[in-house]
Amino acid sequence: MSNREKILIVDDEKIVRESLFHWFEEEGYEVDTAEDGEAALRKYENTRYDLLLVDMKMPGMSGLELLNKIKEIDKESVIILITAFASVPTAIAALKNGAYDYVTKPVDPDELAHLVKKGLEQRALKIENLQLKEKIEEIIRPDNLIGESYQMKKIYELVRTVAPADTTVMIRGESGTGKELVAKAIHINSKRKYFPIIPVNCGALAESILESELFGHEKGAFTGAQYKRKGKFEMADGGTIFLDEIGSISLKMQIELLRVIETKQFNRVGGNELIKSDFRIIIASNGPLEELVKSGKFREDLYYRLNVFTIVIPPLRERRDDIPLLVNFFLNKFSIAMNKPVIHVSKEAMDFLINYNWPGNVRELENAIERAVVVGKTSSIIVDDLPFHVSSAILEANDGSKSLSSVEKKYILKILNENHWNISRSAQVLEIDRVTLYNKINKYNLRKNDY
């Protein structure tokens, strides 16, 4: 058999070792032997065995002692003890200490072979369950939530931490960074994943419409209300409601929202029936709510109710290492959708994309790649396929130079100035070590007052 299971036979009687060795070798196992506990431990240091057959009574280290030492090394090891003097206390001690089972001498080969087979099957099942558990514990994320930079790995870790709880989450980030995708990642990794996540863009709706959208309305509640309609909070029962651009809602709506969050109860517009809903709330903001609180435009009590656990999504310009991954993802997405064989991005075009500042973040990048696939004439995207404002902005940033060194010099200077020439912080943003950054500063003769 391929990938044969390994068995170690530990017995001080040579005839027993040899008999069992030949028996299990013929059965197709990879077999090794040891004459005592010390020899077995030495072998175990270099080789992991799937199963051990251990004599209970041996000179020096006993079978039970060897069992305990092996279990300290490998908790999942399968150990069957062989004894000439079976007794209830002996059996209890062996099983309590982690033995799979025990057999008595003289050994019945068929009985032992059956035990070995069952023991190895149980071990394989345990390993499979552990591997499955590890896979389940890995974060599940929406397709578009892409990135392997340290900033994105930190976000994945925060999602993994907060998802199992029912904690309210505040997601911050510039427009287009993917706040809704992070909200979806939290939801699909939570215990509410079998219920819906209901998104609401608060900034896109007038106050009167938003109230009906959130709480629903009864028939005849206002002109045009011809039917009773459920609101988003009611639809989110058992699941999650995601409120985007929370800072745009009026003070009146803030009062209503605070009451709903605290009580999980509300009335439909024009109705008297008290509706209950079990929802989790995730909110997002592309601006500093603290400033709105200071200016009196956002209620302080609501702010503290919402600001329980915060995730900040960095803009795309601060995680440039993720740009090639995103470019290839969007390229594949749109080439399939449009049935166009665009499979590659030229080096010059990729350099442009990596060094552009992306004020619209991932959303702008996605639109740029979609446009490039539409206008592209070959299987490779070139600079001319990119939106005009993208390529021209890069050229302007390079002071007319297309060289990578010019782009690198200007970008390093920008990061240094943004971080007030804090070398450690700048090196972290650039994802290089401090020595490399100092070398770059010397190479380009950068000075603190350069702009």
CA angle centred on 310, ends 145 and 433, rounded to 5°? 70
**Cβ-contact 369, 327 below 8 angstroms:** yes
CA distance 385 to 378: 10
Report the pLDDT value the prediction gives residue 1, as an integer from 0 to 100: 39
Enter the pTM of the model.
Answer: 0.58
Domain with CATH 1.10.8.60 in the chain: 317-443
Question: DSSP string covering 289-355, please?
Answer: HHHHHHTTSS-HHHHHHHTTEEEEPPPGGG-GGGHHHHHHHHHHHHHHHTT----EE-HHHHHHHHH
Which of 3.20.20.70, 2.70.98.60, 3.40.50.300, 3.40.50.1000 would CATH assign to domain 150-314?
3.40.50.300
Closest CA to 40 of 85, 73, 76: 73
**Cβ-contact 232, 260 below 8 angstroms:** no
CATH 3.30.1330.10 fits 6-135, yes or no: no
CB atoms within 10 A of CB 279: 23
Closest CA to 56 of 31, 24, 34, 86: 86
Give the CA distances from residue 223 to residues 39, 227, 367, in Å, rounded to whole numbers and listed in that order: 89, 11, 39
Q: How far is CA 260 from the centre of its chain?
A: 31
The model's pLDDT over 79-94, given as tens digits with 9 standing for 90+, comes to: 998 887 656 677 677 7
CB atoms within 10 A of CB 39: 16
CA distance 382 to 386: 7
Question: How many CA atoms are closer than 13 Å to the CA of 183, on its beta-carbon side?
Answer: 27
Where the chain has pLDDT below 50, the residues are 1-2, 136-137, 395, 398
Residue with tokens 């009335």: 267
Stretch (H or E) spanning 77:
none
What residues are paired with 6 via a beta bridge?
30
- Percent pLDDT > 70 in the chain is 90
Report the pLDDT value the prediction gives residue 85, as an integer from 0 to 100: 67
CB atoms within 10 A of CB 184: 22
The model's pLDDT over 68-121, given as tens digits with 9 standing for 90+, comes to: 888 888 888 899 988 876 566 776 777 888 888 888 878 888 888 888 999 898
Taking the alpha carbons of 162, 163, 168, 174 in that order, is the dihedral positive or negative?
A: positive
Q: What is the assigned CATH class of domain 317-443? A: mainly alpha
Domain with CATH 3.40.50.300 in the chain: 150-314
Report the pLDDT value the prediction gives residue 2, as an integer from 0 to 100: 45
The DSSP call for residue 206 is -
Domain with CATH 3.40.50.2300 in the chain: 6-135
